[in-house]
Amino acid sequence: MEKIEVKGFKFSDEVRTFEKGKVELIKIGGAMVGKATFEPGWKWSKHVKHLAKTKSCEAPHFQYQVSGTLHVVMDDGTEKDIKAGEVSFIPTGHDAWVVGNEPVVVIDFQGMVDYAKQSTHKK
């Protein structure tokens, strides 16, 4: 019989830090959930791209945005601002950055397993 599980990000299973941001990960119910915090001035192509070693972010994100405004630009040129209180799905192939002076905090239910993890492959 399965048992109830309750976890919080205060006691994350793993924390990955990078300039102007961090990702806190918890494993629960066989899934990995991530809480990402991006400080004002953070931009994926400036602060995470060198870790991923990809042209753009290849992690798909299914997330709830807790705070701030995140501007996303897809590889095809499509742009969208995502704001606090919104749920978003961002497919692979994008850049993103914080808009304004408020940190962006998102809870991601899909794309944080390998996010900001040192990559060993080159593209």
What's the CA gap between 19 and 48, in Å, rounded? 8
User: At 123, is the pLDDT very low, low, confident or very high (cuts 50, 70, 90)?
Assistant: very low
Domains and CATH numbers, the chain: 15-108 (2.60.120.10)
Answer yes or no: is pLDDT of 113 > 60: yes
Tokens 């793993």 locate to: 14
Q: pTM of the entire structure?
A: 0.89
Q: Mean pLDDT over residues 94-99, rounded? A: 98
What's the CA gap between 104 and 7, in Å, rounded? 22
User: If you count them, how many residues does the chain have?
Assistant: 123
